[in-house]
Amino acid sequence: MYLTRQEQQTLDGEHGWANQIAMKILVRLGDLYGATKLIPVQSAHLSGVSYKHLSDAAIDFLNELADKGGSAKTTATLNPSSLDTEYLIKHYSQERVSQQEKIINLYSRMQIRPTLTCTPYYIQKPKANQHLAWAESSAVVYANSVLNAWTNREGAPSALAAALIGKTPNYGLHQPQNRKPNVLVKLGIKLQTESDYGALGIHLGELLKDKIPAIDGLRGSVDELKQLGAAMASSGMTALFYTQPPLKSKIAETLTVERKDIEDTKSKLRTTDEKPKLVFIGCPHCSFNELRTVALAIDNKKVRDDTELWVCTSRHIKNKSSRYVAIIERAGGHVMCDTCVLVSWIKDLGLYTLVTNSAKTAFYAPTLNEVDARLEPLKRCIESACGA
Ligand code: F3S
């Protein structure tokens, strides 16, 4: 891969150890995927934040980077952590809390903003055609497909390296020839709820792996497309989809989705019929509109004593939605920031069964949380929480 003089100096260690390590990661990646050069990125979004998923060795590595001068050269934001500072912090051990705080502080020392959300696009929306280096698969697919920004699906180390250098190798979805759809999906059904969109995403992700679908007949809102993309990127590696077929070119491979595919997927995502201990909304973190929808659905209802309702969002959205937050909290729900179910230790809280409107959460919870799950649309989730 071609390097400028300054990039070569960084690789040779002339700009400090932290920058050298970051450059080594980017060069290795670029060589592996045949990139010819590095390109600047408008922002980097980092995973690898939750203490639940971070090893001690990884924390030591972050410490070393911060001690040796690592500092972001582009706007850099963080994915959710394992707890929030109002509710969960009171339920976990001091060791968990202090280790989590340590991780966030290390990132902050490197000028990486502790946004602690998987929806950085609500804080600062990337413009079309801007190059990004984002980890967090749900944000990547949303950025590429809904916002038409350009990012590969980064891992935690490569997103961190891109943040510290301000650049990423030019390969994959940074190149127009790799952004063309290669499967035409014919949707023979009308999707009705956000959980239908999520189930479609799980179904397509399993079939497509990393192919790029153009989905003919898709008419979702941006929030429904968010559910679709997050789910597709969970069961597969898809990082980009289109909501209509290309006007000029033809696609050779075709796939048809029937109502039965959606229902079969929902059945597979249902590992329990029991009354849930936890009802969870907000994967990916709720938008302003989603918070309002939850508030309208739960207004004048009461969450049952034997059930918890968690609604996860970013601090940015929560601060803008105080009226809706008040309604949800008056009903007995918790509107949480900085965290979510999958990156926290819900089983340790005795929450063994959950109902959610997120196909991504229903897909992962049985393995990542070792709890049973069920996918239901929002209305049914609220009924489960409030006992209608
Ligand atoms: Fe976000 Fe957690 Fe879902 S990080 S995408 S709410 S698993």
CATH code where residue 141 lies: 3.30.499
Across the range 74-100, mean pLDDT stands at 97
What is the structure's pLDDT at 387?
85
With the most atoms of ligand 1 within 8 angstroms of its CB, the residue from 121, 285, 346, 368 to mutate is 285
Q: How many angstroms does the Cα of residue 339 sit away from the middle of ligand 1?
A: 8
What is the structure's pLDDT at 150?
98
Across the range 316-345, mean pLDDT stands at 98
Domain assignment of residue 220, given as a range = 180-267
- Residue whose CA is at the smallest distance from ligand 1 atom 1: 284
12 and 93: one domain?
Answer: yes
What is the structure's pLDDT at 55?
87
64 and 95: one domain?
Answer: yes
What is the structure's pLDDT at 209?
84
73 and 128: one domain?
Answer: yes
Across the range 143-171, mean pLDDT stands at 98
CATH number, domain with residue 258: 3.40.1060.10
User: What is the amino acid identity at position 153?
Assistant: R
CB 313 within 8 A of CB 325: no
Work out which ligand 1 atom sits closest to the CA atom of 79.
4
- Residue whose CA is at the smallest distance from ligand 1 atom 7: 342
Cis peptide before 114 (omega within 30 of 0): no
159 and 255: one domain?
Answer: no
Across the range 164-180, mean pLDDT stands at 98
Please report where in the chains the tokens 């050069």 appear, as a residue: 37
Beta-bridged to residue 317, according to DSSP, are none
Q: How many domains does the chain have?
A: 3
129 and 262: one domain?
Answer: no
Q: How many angstroms does the Cα of residue 231 sit away from the middle of ligand 1?
A: 11
Q: How many angstroms does the Cα of residue 257 sit away from the middle of ligand 1?
A: 26
What is the structure's pLDDT at 217?
86
Distance CA 55, CA 52 (A): 8
Report helix angle 194-208 to 259-268, nearest 10: 90
DSSP β-ladder status, 334-337 and 308-313:
parallel
Across the range 129-139, mean pLDDT stands at 98
- Residue whose CA is at the smallest distance from ligand 1 atom 3: 283
Across the range 241-247, mean pLDDT stands at 91
Confidence of residue 326 (pLDDT cuts 50, 70, 90): very high
> What b/e sequence results for 6-29 when a residue is b if at least 16 CB atoms lie within 10 Å of its CB, and e otherwise?
ebeebbeeebeebbbbbbebbbeb
Boundary residue ending a domain (267, 294, 320): 267
Beta-bridged to residue 185, according to DSSP, are 215, 255
Q: How many angstroms does the Cα of residue 282 sit away from the middle of ligand 1?
A: 8
With the most atoms of ligand 1 within 8 angstroms of its CB, the residue from 54, 117, 338, 342 to mutate is 342
Work out which ligand 1 atom sits closest to the CA atom of 342.
7
**pLDDT reading at 246 higher than 90:** no
Across the range 294-323, mean pLDDT stands at 97
- pTM, whole model, 2 decimals? 0.97
123 and 258: one domain?
Answer: no
Distance CA 14, CA 324 (A): 52
- Residue whose CA is at the smallest distance from ligand 1 atom 5: 284
- Residue whose CA is at the smallest distance from ligand 1 atom 4: 118
Distance CA 345, CA 5 (A): 47
352 and 233: one domain?
Answer: no
CB 242 within 8 A of CB 213: yes
Q: How many angstroms does the Cα of residue 58 sit away from the middle of ligand 1?
A: 21
CATH number, domain with residue 277: 3.30.499.10
- Residue whose CA is at the smallest distance from ligand 1 atom 2: 340
Q: How many angstroms does the Cα of residue 34 sit away from the middle of ligand 1?
A: 31
With the most atoms of ligand 1 within 8 angstroms of its CB, the residue from 45, 51, 339, 360 to mutate is 360
169 and 192: one domain?
Answer: no
Q: How many angstroms does the Cα of residue 28 sit away from the middle of ligand 1?
A: 29
% the chain with pLDDT above 70: 100
169 and 185: one domain?
Answer: no
Cβ-based neighbour number of residue 342 at 10 Å: 23
Across the range 20-24, mean pLDDT stands at 98
- Residue whose CA is at the smallest distance from ligand 1 atom 6: 283
213 and 309: one domain?
Answer: no
144 and 247: one domain?
Answer: no
Boundary residue ending a domain (123, 152, 176): 176
Across the range 134-148, mean pLDDT stands at 98
What is the structure's pLDDT at 305?
96
Across the range 174-181, mean pLDDT stands at 97
What is the structure's pLDDT at 124?
97
Contacts of 294 (CB under 8 A, 6+ apart): 281, 286, 311, 324, 328, 333, 378, 382
Boundary residue ending a domain (241, 267, 293): 267
Q: How many angstroms does the Cα of residue 288 sit away from the middle of ligand 1?
A: 16
Across the range 218-223, mean pLDDT stands at 94
**pLDDT reading at 388 higher than 70:** no
CB 82 within 8 A of CB 169: no
213 and 283: one domain?
Answer: no
**pLDDT reading at 1 higher than 90:** yes
Pocket (CB within 6 angstroms of ligand 1): 79-80, 118, 138, 230, 283-285, 312, 340, 342-343, 360
Q: What is the pLDDT of residues 34-84, one digit of tens each?
A: 999 999 999 999 999 999 999 899 999 999 999 999 999 999 999 999 999
